[in-house]
Amino acid sequence: MWTAVLVAGVGCYLLKLAGLSLPERVLSHPTVERVADLIPVALLAALVAVQVFSGGTSLTVDARVLGLGFAVVALLLRAPFLVVVVGASVVAALARLV
Amino acid sequence: MSDAPLSPDERAGIVRDGLAVGIATGAYGVGFGAVSVASGLSVAQTCVLSLLMFTGASQFALAGVVAAGGAPLSGAATALLLGTRNTLYGLRMAPLLRWRGWRRAAAAHVLIDESTAMAVNRGTTAAARLGFLTTGLAVFVLWNVATAIGAFAGEAVGDPRTFGLDAAVGAAFLALLWPRLADRRNVLVGVLAAAVALSVVPLTAPGVPVLAAGGVAVLVGVLGTGGDPTEVPGPDDVAGGHR
């Protein structure tokens, strides 16, 4: 785990430094820009799906889905980040009590 | 790019905005600290992530992959892929900030969504530097303090399921994704990526599905047409996009 933490930490710093140091034309190809814009979208969407609907290597549906439902409503109402996250936990925890 | 000096009013306004963003972002550092510990990282590992990696979405991604049972290194790979957007921010910011040598090396550490957002629209190098530094430093300090608080609180909770902390992880990712869903193409890519990830969950080791979804981005990006400008966050997008 420490290896992953340090490798990813140093790697992320180098990615930032590369951006400030490289001449702009190196990465200014439209395809590169499109892919780079879409990567966060794809990864975050996949992370949402995997976090909510999977347990290890199987697909599951449990109280986390209700937490996600709360998050969607809260985001639609433009609630702050902490309300979204804490509210989702509270909803899931309450659902497990019932 | 003019080099006109800033008036005291401009200066105060930029500093105030930077501090406000720092406080808003710091608040969700508590969420990261708790989620990271709930995912199985130690308090020390959680704090080192905030100090060294210091880019929220990547940190959440590493913790999220580990929480799903993935190998730590696939978590690291996901974090690095998400970190590539900071490279694009850097390309955009370099001609604006115009730092060289050690200043550039130091500035790179606080090159994140928030500092970019609060500097990219400034008209002068002096204003961009001030916005970048006050926002970057305010977020850095408060994010790290908040991470430590969240991590210790998360450790005290014990089993993450008790308070539904496992549900908090998905909600956190959705909140990070949300501002990008205003674009219809992004919605399509997001749905496709989620479907690809879930469809390979039963077939692969945990952690791989998220990386496979990254392939969707590459595929759509390569096949797509039209050169849209890089999506750089604006002042309205900081702190999860819904201050």
- Phi, psi (degrees; rounded to nearest 5) at A54: -135, 150
Per-residue pLDDT at B3 = 62
* Residue ranges of chain B with per-residue pLDDT less than 70: 1-4, 226-231, 235-243
Comparing CB atoms, the residue among A41, A78, A89 nearest residue B190 is A41
Residue among A43, A82, A96 whose CB faces B61 most closely: A43
Interchain CB contacts (distance < 8 Å): A and B: 354
| Lookup result for tokens 């990386």 | B211
Give the nearest partner residue to B83 out of A15, A31, A57, using CB atoms: A15
Which chain B residue has the Cα nearest residue A75?
B175
Q: What's the CA dihedral at B25, B142, B231, B62 to 10 degrees?
A: -90
Distance CA B235, CA B17 (A): 9
Length of chain A: 98
Does residue A72 sit in helix, strand or coil?
helix
- Residue of chain B nearest A58, judged by CA positions: B202
For B205-225, the pLDDT digits (tens) are 888 898 899 889 989 988 887
Task: Name chain A contacts of B177, Cβ cutoff 8 Å.
Answer: 40-41, 44-45, 48
- Surface of A (58-77) touching B: CB under 8 A: 58-59, 63-64, 66-68, 70-72, 75
Candidates B94, B174, B216; nearest CB to A75: B174
In A, which residues are within 8 Å of B40 by CB distance? 1
Pick the more confident residue, B232 or A52: A52
Predicted pLDDT of residue B161: 76
Residue B113 and residue B56 in contact, taking contact as beta carbons nearer than 8 Å: yes
- Rounded to a whole number of angstroms, the distance from the CA of B96 to the nearest CA of chain A is 10
pLDDT of residue B240: 46
**Scanning every residue of chain B, which has its alpha carbon at the shortest distance from the alpha carbon of A7?**
B76
Report the pLDDT value the prediction gives residue B236, as an integer from 0 to 100: 64
* Residue B130 Cα, gap to closest chain A Cα (Å): 17
DSSP letter at B204 equals: S
A57 near B CB under 8 A: yes
pTM of the model as a whole: 0.85
pLDDT tens digit string along A5-30? 999 999 999 999 999 998 877 767 88
Q: Per residue, what are the HEC states of B7-50?
A: CHHHHHHHHHHHHHHHHHHHHHHHHHHHHHHHCCCCHHHHHHHH
Q: Which residues of B touch A88 (CB under 8 A)?
A: 164, 167-168, 170-171
Phi-psi region of B214 (alpha: psi -120 to 50; beta: other; left: phi over 0): alpha
Nearest to B163 among A37, A64, A93 (CB): A93
Position B243 scores a pLDDT of 32
| Mean of pLDDT values over A47-70 | 89
pLDDT at B228: 59
For residue A23, give how far its alpha carbon lies from the nearest alpha carbon of chain B (Å). 8
Determine the residue type at B168: A
Q: Which of residues 6-25 of A touch B (CB under 8 A)?
A: 6-13, 15-22, 24
**Residue of A40, A50, A52 with shortest CB distance to B85:** A40
Selected residue with higher pLDDT from A3 and A35: A3
Taking CA atoms, what residue in B is nearest to A65? B167
- Do B94 and A59 lie within an 8 Å CB cutoff? no
Look at residue B230 in the predicted model and tell me its pLDDT: 62
Provide, as residue numbers in chain A, all residues whose Cβ is less than 8 Å from the Cβ of B216: 38, 42
